[in-house]
A and B are shown apart, each in its own frame.
Chain A
Amino acid sequence: MKTHPVFADSYEELFYKALRIRLFEERIIDLYPSDKIQSPVHLSIGQEAVAVGVCQALKPSDLLFCTYRSHAYYLAKGGNMPAMMAELYGKVTGCGRGKAGSMHLAAPEVGLMGCSAVVASTIPHAVGAALAAKIQKQDRVIVAVFGDGATDEGVYHESLNFAALHQLPVIFVCENNGWAAYSKVSARQAYSIVKHAGVYGIPTMHIPEGYDFVKVYETFADIVTQAQRTRSPYFVEVQMFRYMEHVGVGDDYRQGIRSRDELEAWQARDPLMIRKDLVAKYTPAVQSEIDAAVRYAEASPWPGRDELLKDVV
C-alpha cells in the first residue's frame, strides 16, 4: 500500500487526491501519441472533484458501480495505481489482466465493482447489490455513478423505480456535464433530472459546484449518513464540466462544439487551477508515484496465449 504525504488539513488531503487524478490523466495525454496506450480513453479532467468528494465519504466496504469514464473513481476509491497504468498499457499485470483496458476498470478489493462501456448498464447492478445488502442485512451503502446521458435510458428509470419501491440503500450520483458525446442535454431531455427522480419519492439533492471537492464531500457525507440510517435510496445530481473531448486526448472547442468561455469560467473556479501553491507543493510526490506506475507498466509482460481463453466461463 502506498502512503500518502502528511496533510496540513483535510482540504489539502482532498486537494491532493484530486491533483493525483488530474496528473495521472495528464500523463495519459502525454503518453498517448507514443501508442503505448492502445485503448480509447474517456478522461475526467475537470470532473475529479466529484469522484474525490464522493469516495472520501465512502468506506472501502461501500460498493461503487461506474462507467467507461472512471479513471477518477478507480483512483479515488483506492484502486492500485500501477495496476491501472498496466491495464491501460494492455499488460497482464493490469487490474483486468489486459482484458479490460480503460473502459472496464475494476478494483473489488476496495469496492469498485466494475465499469461498463454500455451507457446506463451498471445502474441496475447497484440496485441489485443494494437489494442483496438489504436481504443479507449488511450495513454498506451502494453507489451508482452515471452521466446525464444515462438518464435518457429506460433501464435508468426501471432501476430508480425498483430502488424506491423496495427502499434499497443505493445512492444515485448523476454526473451532469451537460453533454452526451456531442449531444446537449437540451437536445435529449424534456425533463429536469432531479425533479424527475423525485417523482419516485426518492429524496434528491442538486450540487451546482462540481469543481468544489469540499462541497461535494460534505454534502455527500451527509447523504451517506442518511442512507446508512434509513437504508433507503437517495439521488444526487452534480453539475460539472468536462475539459477534454468526450473520448480521446483532444478537446472539442476548435470544432465549435462547446465554448471556450464556458471552459474558462469553470477553470476560474477550479482549485486545481487556482491553488498554484498547493499544486507546486504536491506535484513532485504525485509525479514520482505516477513515474513508478509507468515503470511498472512498461516492465510488465504482455498477456500471452494462455490468457486468451482463460476466464471465459
Chain B
Amino acid sequence: MTSSNTSDVLTYREAVFQTMHAALRDDPRVIIIGQGVDDHKGIFGSTAGLLKEFGPHRVMDTPLAEEGVTGIALGAALNGLYPIQTHIRADFILPAMNQIINLAAKYKYMFGGRFQVPMLIRVVIGRSWGQGAQHSQSLQSLFAHVPGLVVLMMSSAQTILESYPYVIRHHPGPVIAFEHRLMYDLKFHMNELRVDHSPLTSFRIRTGKDVTIVATSIMVMEAVRAAEHLAKYSDIDCEIIDLHCVSHPDTDMILKSVSKTGKLVIADTSWKAYGVCAEICRLVCEKAPNMLKAPVVTLGMQPAPCPTAKSLEDMYYPNLMDLTDAIARLVKNRSNHGIPLPDEKSMADVYKKFKGPF
C-alpha cells in the first residue's frame, strides 16, 4: 500500500475505481468478474474502462449465474487467481449463499488449513428512490455471523483506499465488502492513509467524552453530521467509531470508549434484530455491563421489508433528525432536551443536493 500525503478530495466512486485499476495493474492474479463489469456503466463507474485497458481475460462479464460464478471464482482462487466479484445490489448475492457459506467460508478450516481461497466480493447496498424490498437490503450480518468470512463496510473514500489494496495483497481468505450506492457521488476529504496496521478492524474517527456512537457505512457519515450539529447547538461531545470490519470489530476500542462515555448509540444500515446492533450490545453486555450509565440506544431499518412508496421509505430509515434526537435524549437523559434538531427527514433528498466534501 502506498501512502498518500495529500489532503485531496476524492469521490467514493473514484476511490473504488482507483483500487480496482491498481489491482489489475499491479497484481497479475487479479481478475474482476461480475454481471455488467464490462458495460458502459461499469458498476456505478467503479470498473468503467477497465475492460479496454486490461482485456476480457481480466475483466469478465458473466451469465446471470450467481451461485455458479461464485463457485467458479472459488475454484480460480484455489488455482492461483485473485477474483474480485461484483454484485450491483447486495440482494443479488443471495443466490450465491451456498457457495459463500458452505464452501468459501469453510475451505480453509474444513481441510485442516490446507487451502486458501483469497477473493473479494464487492456488493452495493441500494437505497432510496423506490428500490423496494429486493434492491435495497443491507445483508452484512448474515455474513458476519459465519466464521471464516471477513465482512467490511465502506464508509468513505479513505477506508476504500486503505482496505481494498490491503485485502487483495494480504488477506488469504474470502472478504465481502459492502459499498453504499448513495455515497458513490460524494466527495471525501482524504487524510494520510493509515498504513501502520491492518484495516480489518474498526476506526475511531471522532473523539468525544459524552457518548459513543458505533456506526456502519453511510450511518458513519450521518453520525458525523449529527455530532457536528450537536457541537454547534449544544455542549454534547460525541465520540464516533466506524465499525468498518463488522465481522472483526475492534472490541477494545469500543469498550474503552464506552468506559469513558458510559453511553452508547449504535447506528447500522440494516435491521436491528440479530444484526450489528444486537452484536455490539452483546459485546458490551458480556464484557462490561457495568460501564453503561443508561440503556443502549440502537438505530436501524424498521423491522419490515423495504417499502417503495417514498412516504414509507422516509419512515423506514432513520434520518438525521432521529439520530440527533436519540443522541441528545441519551446524553441529557430526558426527551425535552431543548436542543434544536436538524430539520431533515429524508437522507436521500439531502444527498441528492449535497455532495460533500465530507
Which residues of the partner chain B approach A255 to less than 8 Å between Cβ atoms? 40
Interface string of A90-106 (1 = CB under 8 A from B): 11101010111111100
Which residues of the partner chain B approach A305 to less than 8 Å between Cβ atoms? 315
Q: How many residues on the A side are at the interface (Cβ–Cβ under 8 A)?
A: 44
Is the CB of A154 closer than 8 A to any CB of chain B? Answer: yes
Bound Cα distance from A118 to B63, whole angstroms: 14
Is the CB of B309 closer than 8 A to any CB of chain A? Answer: yes
Asked if B41 and A40 make an inter-chain contact with CB atoms under 8 angstroms apart, the answer reads no
Is the CB of B198 closer than 8 A to any CB of chain A? Answer: no
Which residues of the partner chain B approach A304 to less than 8 Å between Cβ atoms? 311
Asked if B64 and A120 make an inter-chain contact with CB atoms under 8 angstroms apart, the answer reads yes
B73-81, B131-139, B171-179, B202-210 - the one binding chain A: B131-139
Asked if A90 and B133 make an inter-chain contact with CB atoms under 8 angstroms apart, the answer reads no
**A40-B130, A100-B132, A116-B134 known; A303 vs B311 contact (CB < 8 Å):** yes
Is the CB of A308 closer than 8 A to any CB of chain B? Answer: yes
Is the CB of A26 closer than 8 A to any CB of chain B? Answer: no
Which residues of the partner chain B approach A308 to less than 8 Å between Cβ atoms? 302, 304, 307, 312, 315-316
Number of CB contacts from chain A to chain B under 8 A: 121
Q: How far is the CB of A185 from chain B (nearest CB, A)?
A: 10
Q: Which residue of A lies closest to B348 (CB)?
A: A38
Interface string of B63-107 (1 = CB under 8 A from A): 111111000000000000000000000011011000000000000
**A90-B311, A181-B35, A312-B304 known; A150 vs B134 contact (CB < 8 Å):** no
Q: How many residues on the B side are at the interface (Cβ–Cβ under 8 A)?
A: 36
Interface centre among B134, B302, B305 (most CB of A within 10 A): B134
Is the CB of A84 closer than 8 A to any CB of chain B? Answer: no
Which residues of the partner chain B approach A92 to less than 8 Å between Cβ atoms? 309
Bound Cα distance from A303 to B312, whole angstroms: 7
Asked if A154 and B68 make an inter-chain contact with CB atoms under 8 angstroms apart, the answer reads yes
Q: How far is the CB of B357 from chain A (nearest CB, A)?
A: 27
Asked if B309 and A150 make an inter-chain contact with CB atoms under 8 angstroms apart, the answer reads no
Asked if B130 and A90 make an inter-chain contact with CB atoms under 8 angstroms apart, the answer reads yes
Which residues of the partner chain A approach B250 to less than 8 Å between Cβ atoms? none
Asked if A188 and B303 make an inter-chain contact with CB atoms under 8 angstroms apart, the answer reads no
Asked if A99 and B64 make an inter-chain contact with CB atoms under 8 angstroms apart, the answer reads no
**Which positions 165-210 of chain A face chain B at CB distance < 8 Å?**
180-183, 187-189
Is the CB of B169 closer than 8 A to any CB of chain A? Answer: no
Q: How far is the CB of A196 from chain B (nearest CB, A)?
A: 13
Residue in contact with B64 in the complex, picked from A90, A116, A119, A307, CB distance below 8 Å: A119
Is the CB of A161 closer than 8 A to any CB of chain B? Answer: no
Is the CB of B129 closer than 8 A to any CB of chain A? Answer: yes
Bound Cα distance from A181 to B64, whole angstroms: 11
Bound Cα distance from A153 to B67, whole angstroms: 9
Residue in contact with A99 in the complex, picked from B135, B302, B303, B312, CB distance below 8 Å: B312
Asked if A101 and B130 make an inter-chain contact with CB atoms under 8 angstroms apart, the answer reads yes
Enumerate the 10 nearest inter-chain pairs by beta-carbon distance, A residue then B residue, closest first.
A39-B130, A101-B308, A90-B309, A98-B309, A302-B311, A182-B39, A152-B63, A152-B64, A188-B63, A99-B307
24 residue pairs of the A-B complex, CB under 8 angstroms, read: A38-B130, A39-B129, A40-B129, A40-B131, A92-B309, A98-B308, A99-B133, A99-B305, A99-B307, A99-B308, A101-B309, A103-B308, A104-B134, A152-B63, A152-B65, A153-B64, A187-B61, A188-B63, A189-B63, A302-B310, A303-B311, A307-B312, A308-B307, A312-B303
